[in-house]
């Protein structure tokens, strides 16, 4: 919903009713991740997407029906071998879509949630998508220190459940995760196949992830543009004021004149596991102090530009300053995938492709060379392997 927040806020501010269709579950080669949304207002205007085109028409009609009835609905779309012309996903995946009508001023949680999302304030929207009829559609908006809304007009009847939902939503917000939570009416965690449970879909809305581009060179301008295209908040940093200028990097969110390692030291509270660092200076006096710090931080990606010779020299210098082989092993150098790139724009595509593959668990092989799933799910794979460090690999919640 975050990518259509501005339009939703405009509808909400004008008092216009609308319905939001949100992807709340996927399997197989479904085209969009959980959290992707399409919204339709009372006049029939539509924004967003839930499937890239496969089922948009059917979901549009569901939104219109929800505006008319005032009732939420959970619908599943999948491919039908029996009727290939039926509404469904030609890619063979399964998509669960929850459609919720919104009437401004009638739901404190949705009112607060839309305002938080539009302002960029981190918030998690927890919505009941399955369970006892009286609870379906109930929403709680949860921030780091407060929450809005209730699961029931008589909160004492579901007090334990509501406390559990708020706690789960706050934990998922802290991790930047979006997904389902299945709870019993008493608030205890349950298996999704158990009877008498409540399924809650939690959407975490957090600020855009950061891309820090060190080195104000010509290649950096292209990396900035593709970083913005991927949804990052992009900062360019260079110690040389003649190069680090707004005129040279008009697409960057920030242009900073500072020594790279000193700037990174000042940003520790603003970086997290979604942050990517692209070190393009290929100058040891800048690179080594920066990488010595970066490779010890819990960021998502660290890549450094340079030739094979520069790379070997860089590794020797990093060992000399005390980095372990495990820490050095986190470095992607030379940066990018082997696409045969030469121009700044081609190189930026190479860098972006490696960032996406690293985040999503891609093999970097042509899709035509394999027959496995097109879309990867690192979270499910890690959970299947009982990895306690499993987390949501997405850079931002849609």
Q: What is the CATH number of the domain that holds 258?
A: 3.40.50.720
Residue 322: which domain range?
Answer: 210-360
Structure confidence at residue 55 (pLDDT): 85
Structure confidence at residue 376 (pLDDT): 61
pLDDT mean over 278-289 = 93
Q: Locate tokens 């790279």: which residue? A: 260
pLDDT bracket for residue 390 (50, 70, 90): very low
Domain count, the chain: 2
Q: Tell whether the model's pLDDT for residue 239 goes beyond 50.
A: yes
Q: Tell whether the model's pLDDT for residue 322 goes beyond 60.
A: yes
Structure confidence at residue 66 (pLDDT): 96
Q: Is residue 379 part of a domain?
A: no
Tell me: do 247 and 176 sit in the same domain. Answer: no
Three-state secondary-structure class, residue 84: coil
User: Which one, of 18, 76, 82, 83, lies nearest residue 51 by Cα?
Assistant: 76
Q: Tell whether the model's pLDDT for residue 394 goes beyond 80.
A: no
pLDDT in tens, 102-135: 999 999 999 999 888 878 789 999 999 999 878 9
Tell me: do 142 and 87 sit in the same domain. Answer: yes
Q: Which residues 6+ apart lie within 8 Å of 327 measured at CB? A: 295, 296
Structure confidence at residue 81 (pLDDT): 43
pLDDT in tens, 11-48: 999 999 999 999 999 886 666 788 999 999 999 999 99
pLDDT mean over 250-275 = 94
Within the chain, residue ranges assigned H as helices are 5-13, 56-69, 108-119, 159-175, 218-229, 260-266, 284-294, 308-320, 325-328, 344-360, 378-384
Tell me: do 160 and 59 sit in the same domain. Answer: yes
In this predicted model, which residue has the larger pLDDT, 144 or 200? 200
Q: Tell whether the model's pLDDT for residue 87 goes beyond 60.
A: no
- DSSP summary character for residue 208: P
Within 81-213, residue ranges assigned H as helices are 108-119, 159-175
Q: Tell whether the model's pLDDT for residue 392 goes beyond 80.
A: no
Tell me: do 163 and 35 sit in the same domain. Answer: yes
Structure confidence at residue 92 (pLDDT): 58
Sign of CA dihedral 312, 317, 318, 324: positive
- CA–CA separation, 177 and 377 (whole Å): 13
pLDDT bracket for residue 206 (50, 70, 90): confident
Q: Is residue 51 part of a domain?
A: yes
pLDDT mean over 367-371 = 79
Tell me: do 158 and 258 sit in the same domain. Answer: no
């Amino acid at each position: 919903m975050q990518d259509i927040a501005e339009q939703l806020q405009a509808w909400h501010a004008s008092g216009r009713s609308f319905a939001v269709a949100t992807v709340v579950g996927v399997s197989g080669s479904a085209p969009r991740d959980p959290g992707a949304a399409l919204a339709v207002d009372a006049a029939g205007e539509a924004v967003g997407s839930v499937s890239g085109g496969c089922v948009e028409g059917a979901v549009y009609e569901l939104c219109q029906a929800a505006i008319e009835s005032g009732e939420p609905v959970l619908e599943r779309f999948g491919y039908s071998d029996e009727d290939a012309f039926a509404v469904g996903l030609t890619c063979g995946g399964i998509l669960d879509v929850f459609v919720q009508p919104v009437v401004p001023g009638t739901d404190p949680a949705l009112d607060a949630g839309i305002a938080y999302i539009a302002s960029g304030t981190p918030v998690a929207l927890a919505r009941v998508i399955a369970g006892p009829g009286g609870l379906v559609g109930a929403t709680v908006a949860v921030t780091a220190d407060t929450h809005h809304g209730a699961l029931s007009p008589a909160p004492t009847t579901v007090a334990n459940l509501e406390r559990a939902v708020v706690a789960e939503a706050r934990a998922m917000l802290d991790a930047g995760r979006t997904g389902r939570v299945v709870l019993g009416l008493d608030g205890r965690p349950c298996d999704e196949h158990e009877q008498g449970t409540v399924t809650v879909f939690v959407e975490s809305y957090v600020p855009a992830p950061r891309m820090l581009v060190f080195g104000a060179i010509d290649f950096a301008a292209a990396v900035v543009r593709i970083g913005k295209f991927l949804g990052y908040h992009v900062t360019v940093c260079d110690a040389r004021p003649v190069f680090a200028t707004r005129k040279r990097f008009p697409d960057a969110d920030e242009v900073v004149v500072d020594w790279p390692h000193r700037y990174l030291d000042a940003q520790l509270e603003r970086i997290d596991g979604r942050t990517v660092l692209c070190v393009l200076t290929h100058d040891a006096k800048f690179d080594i102090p920066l990488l010595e710090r970066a490779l010890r931080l819990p960021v998502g990606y660290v890549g450094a530009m340079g030739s094979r010779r520069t790379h070997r020299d860089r590794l020797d210098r990093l060992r000399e300053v005390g980095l372990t082989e495990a820490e050095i092993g986190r470095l992607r150098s030379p940066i990018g995938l082997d696409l045969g790139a030469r121009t700044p724009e081609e190189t930026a595509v190479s860098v972006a492709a490696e960032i996406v593959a690293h985040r999503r668990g891609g093999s970097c092989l042509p899709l035509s060379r394999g027959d496995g799933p097109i879309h990867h799910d690192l979270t499910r794979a890690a959970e299947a392997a009982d990895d306690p460090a499993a987390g949501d690999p997405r850079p931002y919640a849609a």
